[in-house]
Chains A and B, each alone.
Chain A
């Protein structure tokens, strides 16, 4: 089955800890994206990558880091520098030059 997977589905973090959210796709898409969704707000772009070994900051990159060592994988690390990390995190992918983004199932992160 082709698609985008994210893990874990739920994640609990203590203050001061770094956590890494996984995103994997087997759609052969070049571009991958990380968004954050908070209640009453639209999706906000954290980071994006249009090609392997290259990524760019989005609108709210502070406190987050990413890597893109493989085409299929785009993990997101939420660092202790992120002031309010509790949110629903969505990974998406899309083909190079294509408009459409397809989303994974999401990871809900809660800071205890």
Chain B
């Protein structure tokens, strides 16, 4: 079982719709969760971080965390063509004295004009 799993997509949504990106993780002691956006050929850019159960909103983005289900999601409201990118889920657990960050392989989002 992969430590952090994401559907590779592509996930296609029409412009203006809500895009829902999902991520599951295997390490129950994971403490911190991140969503990064990566445009083709570019480096990842941090969008959101979330640490406790529930929702966290930042503009058009909402991160949702459910530690009991080991599930974290990212909702993008009013999706725009500029949101078309690969979204990486990252989870920070603990490995010895170092809190390792594990990245998923990413979900490719396509927003259709």
Contacts and interface: CB of A to CB of B under 8 A. Distances in A.
Interface of A: 35, 40-43, 45, 48, 50, 56, 90, 99-106
Contacts of A42: 4, 88, 102-106
B98 A100 contact: no
20 contacts: A35-B103, A40-B105, A41-B105, A42-B4, A42-B103, A42-B106, A43-B44, A43-B88, A56-B98, A99-B32, A99-B49, A100-B49, A101-B46, A101-B90, A101-B101, A102-B46, A103-B43, A104-B43, A105-B42, A106-B42
Contacts, number: 45
A86 to B, nearest CB: 15
B56 to A, nearest CB: 14
Nearest to A97: B99
Chain A, interface SS category: loop
A108 to B, nearest CB: 8
Contact of A100 (B34, B88, B100, B105): B34
Contacts of A40: 8, 105
B67 interface: no
Contacts of B105: 40-42
A103 B32 contact: no
- 8 A-B pairs closest in CB distance: A42-B103, A99-B32, A43-B103, A103-B43, A42-B105, A106-B43, A103-B44, A105-B43
